Chains A and B, each alone.
Chain A
Amino acid sequence: DAGVIQSPRHEVTEMGQEVTLRCKPISGHNSLFWYRQTMMRGLELLIYFNNNVPIDDSGMPEDRFSAKMPNASFSTLKIQPSEPRDSAVYFCASSFWGGRVANVLTFGAGSRLTVL
């Protein structure tokens, strides 16, 4: 298994531009999490899905952020319009939730976003 795949690995954009980050979870996993990491705020949970349905988006900072999971193998996190304070590393993680199986998260390598 190739693990959780995120793209792009690095993105540099200008303020006001739309940014789309992509995530392919591990095949068979049914939970997906989006995190943002900065030096000041650490690792913050933005939103998570279970069986493609958003369960909790209370961590999404504002309406400029949106996330979708159209199917079990793909999710996007979109920022429109982007601002310099959105600069961070964005991580996607997936896990299998089911019955008595321990719920272990597997993280992708992250997408480093710089908004100028």
Chain B
Amino acid sequence: DAKTTQPTSMDCAEGRAANLPCNHSTISGNEYVYWYRQIHSQGPQYIIHGLKNNETNEMASLIITEDRKSSTLILPHATLRDTAVYYCIVREGTSYDKVIFGPGTSLSVIP
């Protein structure tokens, strides 16, 4: 079973920041938070991951709360191409354990 809770859908205006929340209240100390997204008809694509510090790469920023029970993926300037389903996953970073995807958040970027 997925260990995360995400809103079913969200809208964001083009050019604005998209903030996608994820709750993972049962996360353990050695579990990372991973984010993937799936653009229609394509395979899921890795975005970013983190353990407890905030992370940033060319695609997005990841903000993890101090108690690690929730996180937010930030797309700083959303474009129409960011319309996709976004999945938040927690798992051990060095484990070859199964990777379970929940229903994710369907983000619609509106012109």
Q: Is the CB of B43 within 8 A of A100?
A: no
Q: Is the CB of B43 within 8 A of A33?
A: no
A46 → B minimal CB distance (Å): 10
Residues from chain A with a CB closer than 8 A to the CB of B38 are 43
Q: Is the CB of A102 within 8 A of B93?
A: yes
* Contact flags B39-79 to A (C-beta < 8 A → 1, else 0): 00111111001000000000000000000000000000000
A10 → B minimal CB distance (Å): 11
User: Who on chain B is nearest to A51 by CB?
Assistant: B96
Q: Is the CB of B94 within 8 A of A105?
A: no
Q: Is the CB of A105 within 8 A of B98?
A: no
Query: Is B15 at the interface (CB under 8 A from chain A)?
Result: no
Count chain B CB atoms within 10 A of each CB in A48, A104, A106 and give the residue with the most: A104
Residues from chain B with a CB closer than 8 A to the CB of A56 are 98
Which B residues between 76 and 106 are near A, CB-CB below 8 angstroms? 87, 91-96, 98-103
Count chain A CB atoms within 10 A of each CB in B32, B38, B43, B46 and give the residue with the most: B43
Q: Is the CB of A109 within 8 A of B42?
A: yes
Residues from chain B with a CB closer than 8 A to the CB of A104 are 34, 46, 49
Q: Is the CB of A31 within 8 A of B96?
A: yes
Query: Is A45 at the interface (CB under 8 A from chain B)?
Result: yes
- A31 CA to B97 CA, complexed, in Å: 10
Query: Is A79 at the interface (CB under 8 A from chain B)?
Result: no
* Contact flags A71-100 to B (C-beta < 8 A → 1, else 0): 000000000000000000101010001011
Residues from chain A with a CB closer than 8 A to the CB of B101 are 35, 42-43, 45
User: Who on chain A is nearest to B45 by CB?
Assistant: A107
Cross-chain contact of A42 among B92, B95, B103 (Cβ < 8 A):
B103
Query: Is A25 at the interface (CB under 8 A from chain B)?
Result: no
Q: Is the CB of A108 within 8 A of B99?
A: no
- A83 CA to B51 CA, complexed, in Å: 43
Q: Is the CB of B49 within 8 A of A110?
A: no
Count chain B CB atoms within 10 A of each CB in A31, A101, A103 and give the residue with the most: A103
5 nearest A-B pairs in the assembled complex, by CB-CB distance: A107-B43, A97-B96, A43-B101, A50-B96, A102-B93
A residues bordering B, Cβ < 8 Å? 4, 31, 33, 35, 42-43, 45, 48, 50, 55-56, 89, 91, 93, 97, 99-110
